[in-house]
Structure 1
Amino acid sequence: MTTPPFVPQPGEPHVPPPPEPAEPPQDPRPGPVAEPGPDPAPAPPATAPGPDPFAVVADAVDGMRDELAALGDQFRRRLLNDREARRSLDGLLTELDHTRKAAEGRIVQPLLYDLVLLVDRVERQAAQGDAFAGSVAAELLALLEKYGMTRIPVTRGPFNPDMQEAVGAIAALSPEQSGEIAEVVRHGYRMDERVVRPQQVRVYNDR
């Protein structure tokens, strides 16, 4: 800042102004260049709010519920398929059993019936005292039973038209005896519950 020159007023003594301070000489050499400092650290971004833990658990439970429902549906479908397969298998087995019995009726039964006629002849021979014929008759009966044909047992009692055939009558000794079986003329045979040949009998009659 430059001081204005001093101008003496009339009647005042002349006092020279104080010298202005000299400015220090400037160094013509360039000074050190200030290096740029590190960039200031960026401000941390605003922290977003975290997921709600209750919502996470609810989503997980919903996923498990859906998965269990899908497994339940799959199990029910497989169970229904197994039931249908079992029903089909049972039907097939029943049909095969019927076919087997029908085949036995067409093929095996006539053969067994011929064996029954053979047993009749052999037993008549055994009744005359032929021991060999008796043993043959026993073997034939065992063979018949092996294929399911059994002899109708000889019983005393009322006449049964479901398993017996009346071929004669004998005078009853008392009224209570009328209608009862007197004697078996020819043996009968059956396969399971089906009568193949009825038992021929004579029945008591009071007339």
Structure 2
Amino acid sequence: MSTPPVPPYTPHQAGQPQQAEPSEQPEPSEQPVPADPFAVVADAVDGMREELASLGDQFRRRLLNDREARRSLDELHAALGHTREHAEGRTLQPLLYDLILLTDRVERQSGDDTQFADSVTAELRTLLEKYGMTRVPVTPGPFDPAAQEAVGTIAAVSPERVGEIAEVVRHGYRMGERVIRPQQVRVYTAP
């Protein structure tokens, strides 16, 4: 069996006064300098400014993205509305045109019972207007080839009337700005 080694003898073990070891405190020039409170606050404010600027930039980018998305959405909504109107026009137009022809027949046959014919005509016009079909208004004045079709002529009694509408033969109809059936008219010509 082996015995553990004995530590060497030192004088403080024998009751001799212990000498103070040199202190390990830093010298006054090495002690930490207390932080300047104004510098600490200035650093914190600078950090907040940078963070606020970053948040401001982020907000502006998101605002621009939202505006762009809204503009795109509005364009899509307008395109959808235009497409819907066009599709409805293509679907409803043949039916509405047939109703126009029926209105013409009722107006022509109104000889004996004008009250009944006028009532049916008014109901048919109301139905047409419900779906956006309106009559081209009868207006005196010069012939308008965009909304009228000349189907005959009448000799003018005065030269100022040449080229003006003499009478409406058959009413025209339009859906919005588009002419569905031009107004058929007779036009004054030189005698």
TM-score tier after normalising by the smaller chain length: 0.7 to 0.9
In the alignment, which residue of structure 2 is the partner of 1:63? 47
Equivalent residue for 1:109, pick from 71, 77, 93: 93
Task: Flag the structure with more relative contact order, 1 or 2, with Cα contacts below 8 A and sequence separation at least 6.
Answer: 2
Q: TM-score, normalised by structure 2?
A: 0.81
Superposed CA RMSD: 2.1
In the alignment, which residue of structure 2 is the partner of 1:98? 82
> For residues 115-154 of structure 1, what are the alpha-carbon distances to aligned partners after superposition, in whole Å with 9 as ceiling and x for unaligned?
1111101111225543112101101101111111100111
Counterpart CA distance in 2 for 1:127 and 1:164 is 27
Aligned AA for 1:148?
G
Mark the structure with the bigger radius of gyration.
1
**1:143 is aligned to 2:130:** no
**1:54 is aligned to 2:38:** yes
- The structure richer in helix per residue is 2
Further displaced range: 141-150 or 101-110 = 101-110
In the alignment, which residue of structure 2 is the partner of 1:189? 173
Q: Percent identity at matched positions?
A: 73
* SS state at 1:126 partner: coil
> For residues 148-167 of structure 1, what are the alpha-carbon distances to aligned partners after superposition, in whole Å with 9 as ceiling and x for unaligned?
11001111111111111100
Counterpart CA distance in 2 for 1:59 and 1:96 is 55
Counterpart CA distance in 2 for 1:200 and 1:127 is 22
**1:89 is aligned to 2:73:** yes
Aligned AA for 1:122?
V
* SS state at 1:150 partner: strand
Structure 2 stretches lacking a partner, 5+ long: 1-16, 18-22
In the alignment, which residue of structure 2 is the partner of 1:20? none
Q: TM-score, normalised by structure 1?
A: 0.75
Would you say how many aligned residue pairs link Structure 1 and Structure 2?
Answer: 168
After TM superposition, which residue ranges in structure 1, 4 or more long, deviate above 6 angstroms?
none
